[in-house]
Amino acid sequence: DIVMTQTPLSSPVTLGQPASISCRSSQSLVHSDGNTYLSWLQQRPGQPPRLLIYKISNRFSGVPDRFSGSGAGTDFTLKISRVEAEDVGVYYCMQATQFPWTFGQGTKVEIK
């Protein structure tokens, strides 16, 4: 199975300031079809996960443009340009390149 490793595990941020989360996979996430199936999920407190970003950098429907994704191969980053109070929660990276789909351990974003 592909292991997904996130850093940091906790990220205290000031409102209005940027935040960045890294995700590394144990092997390349480039699929044989040429796509890289790396996505980011947000889980607010008491809520189910919600898809934010898919295929590295594509924002899902309704996701604010302060969220952006980048990376390639085995190293990926989620950035929040200006953190708002509603962004508090746990963020997971996830790979859908190889079965079984696997998740990172999660990064908790909280306000300082």
Q: Which residues bind another protein (CB under 8 A)?
A: 35, 37, 39, 41, 48-51, 54-55, 60, 92, 94, 96, 99-106
Q: Are 92 and 104 in contact (CB under 8 A)?
A: yes
Smallest distance from another protein to CB 69, Å:
12
For 34, the token pair is 């040429």
Task: Identify whether the C-beta of residue 22 lies closer than 8 Å to the C-beta of residue 79.
Answer: no
Cβ pair 109, 52 in contact under 8 A: no
State in angstroms the smallest separation of the CB of 17 from another protein.
Answer: 26
CB nearer to another protein: pick between 55 and 82: 55
Nearer to another protein, 20 or 105 (CB): 105
At 90, list the tokens: 């746990």
